[in-house]
Structure 1
Amino acid sequence: MRNRPMPSILQYATQEVPAGGGSLPLGLTQGVEIHLTSIWLTATSSTNQLQFWGNVGWALQLLNQAVSPQLTFRIRTGGFSPTDPIVFQTTDSELFPGNMGFITQVSFNTSFTHTQVPNPTLIGVAIPYFLTVSYFGLGNVAITGPINLTGQVLG
């Protein structure tokens, strides 16, 4: 059996907003995609791997009614508008029946990982990666934090 060398971390970037930091909590408006944080990475070879991981804390207020929020978290490149390219996306949702007889806030955490090869036309170029969120469904939802986006280039 042949031993392969462990990949080296060529670049590492992370950005974190702690719970209660910055403008948190941040109420979400249904159907509006918003920018949460961003990092920059530069691949130096087409054989590099880009690895991303993230974590977002969010909360839902239960108001004695049925709620079913669906949050879509995206990593976009080049910008954070809905027209900028999506590198990765994942959706998290919860369903609570109505008539529960109370008003309370329930907290959740969404975590993700993603690995990809770099765009060969962008080798040697510093690329921004933006973490965004959009919300659809019923309920009063806020991003409470922490928010973290981390990436690294492996070679």
Structure 2
Amino acid sequence: MDDAGSAGAGPAEVVRVTQEVLDDAVGRAVEAAVAAPECGAVVTFRGVVRDDDGGRDVVSLDYEAHPDATAVLQEVCRAVAAETGLRVAATHRYGHLVVGDVALVASASAGHRKEAFEACSLLVERIKAEVPIWKKQQFTDGESEWVGL
């Protein structure tokens, strides 16, 4: 996993799996990686840890990432970009996250909003399905469970 990258960086630097807090600067860097003069729409998704899942109160999540997770995320982004013909980028966090923390920032840009929304949605779904990152939810009652295994 690669923790390199900074605001204003290109796609190669922001498409990564990291323990870094995904703050507004990271969100702007992901958006900057997909921005282009011909793109009138930039759609960004931020996946935020919520306090409830299926009626159970969640206190935190622990994300585990395979050592190849960054490489897989980069391949997913390349594949979605090739399939849609659009610019896409994403950064996913792993480690211990609490309610309100951002776990994923994904962006897509296009000439028009419909294509950007569709590409961003496709990117998020592919990340969830293909990138080897696993989530363990911690509940207020002290129990925990792995999700999506």
Q: TM-score range by the shorter chain?
A: under 0.3
Look at both structures and tell me which one has the larger radius of gyration over its CA atoms: 1
Greater relative contact order structure (CA < 8 Å, 6+ sep): 1
Question: Higher strand proportion, which one?
Answer: 1
TM-score, normalising length: structure 1? 0.27
Question: Higher helix proportion, which one?
Answer: 2
